[in-house]
Amino acid sequence: MSDESEQSLKEQELIAVHKKERKDLQAKIQCLKKTICKGDKKKKKEITEEIVKLESELEKKQNDDLAELKLSQMNLSVSENEKNDETVSNDISTEISDQGNSKPARVSKAQKRREKKENAEKERNERIIEQEALNEFGQRNLEIQAIKTILTKRNLMVHEIPSDGHCLYNAVAHQLKLIGDLPLDYNDLRKKTANHLRENIDSFLPFIENSNSTDDELMTVEQYEKYCDNVAETSAWGGAVELQVLSSVLKCPIEVIQAIGAPYEVGTEFEPTRKLILTYYRHMYQLGAHYNSVTKYVPNTEDS
């Protein structure tokens, strides 16, 4: 079997293993969800956090597996090239010695400089190959490609939203525009979200993380009010709670497509013809997660 065929077989085997791992994880997630009693908000929060942790761990493991395989393939290719170079070098040395000159050939300073330059270039190329492998199979690129594949199957494509802290609200605003609703910008949506949070403190306070506590204490009323002020007046990033609020305020379902696992949907009790669709990225930017919007697929324009 050729090296190329062997490499292809290893890739296919790894893909099959990863597919089984994801299937097993989904089965485990379904079992975890069944343990949640209706109305048990604390248990629901714990299970949700456990699911996110399991998905993240599997994603990291599979990304590491792919990167390691790619690197091993790249190193094998480099090694083969080195063997070929060594063979040519040995042939030249033999030819020189066969000319009858028993004295070792002197290497000029110019030749030494050339060899030093060639070795430096060779090392540089190896580093480039290694970095390209890491980039190609890095978490960010794998996530982007996975979501792109999911969208393409649904005749959709990504609509990029700036990463400025307002991405959730701007993505929702873009979707509202697509379905012909009244135009609302991110400021409008932030204010509506903050007002709804204030009016329904008992429903949302238990699910908002208290960053000022180290022992899972709930926010105080004053801290909750400050949280609402930040939602309305700053570029504070919006997450699952704000997504739920937006669905309630706008009275429409919101579907969130992610790279791993089934799409996450809130507001399923509302009219499905007004459904908004977003994409969620855990590794898009170093600062944290990110939301984009989507549009209908148009050939040759999705990468523009």
pTM of the full structure = 0.57
Q: What is the mean pLDDT of residues 268-288?
A: 85
Q: What is the mean pLDDT of residues 267-279?
A: 95
Q: Decide if 167 is catalytic.
A: yes
Residue 16: predicted pLDDT: 81
Reported as a single tens digit per residue, the pLDDT across 176-201 is 999 988 889 999 999 999 999 999 99
Measured distance CA(59)–CA(65) in Å, rounded: 10
Find where tokens 């993240």 sit: 56
DSSP helix/strand/coil, 141: helix
Q: What is the mean pLDDT of residues 148-173?
A: 95
**Given 166, 167, 174, 252, which residue is catalytic?**
167
- The alpha carbons of the chain give a radius of gyration, in whole angstroms, of 28
Q: Decide if 164 is catalytic.
A: yes
- Where residue 238 falls among pLDDT bands split at 50, 70, 90? very high
Looking at the DSSP assignment, which residues form a beta bridge with residue 295?
157
Which among 14, 37, 59 has a CA at the least distance from the CA of 261? 59
Reported as a single tens digit per residue, the pLDDT across 95-151 is 545 555 555 567 787 788 778 877 876 776 666 555 555 555 567 888 899 999 999
Measured distance CA(121)–CA(182) in Å, rounded: 59
- Whether the predicted pLDDT of 161 surpasses 80: yes
Locate the domains of the chain by residue range.
Answer: 3-98+106-137, 140-296
**Given 3, 40, 164, 229, which residue is catalytic?**
164
Measured distance CA(67)–CA(130) in Å, rounded: 10
**Given 166, 196, 283, 290, which residue is catalytic?**
290
Measured distance CA(92)–CA(99) in Å, rounded: 11
Which among 76, 50, 71 has a CA at the least distance from the CA of 138? 71
- Count of alpha carbons within 13 angstroms of residue 186, beta-carbon side: 18
Mean pLDDT lowest among 15-24, 77-86, 183-192, 205-214: 77-86
Find where tokens 């994409």 sit: 279
Q: Decide if 228 is catalytic.
A: no
CA distances from 238 to 2, 84, 242, 262 (A): 51, 56, 6, 21
Measured distance CA(134)–CA(282) in Å, rounded: 18
- The yes or no reply on domain 140-296 and CATH 3.90.70.80 is yes
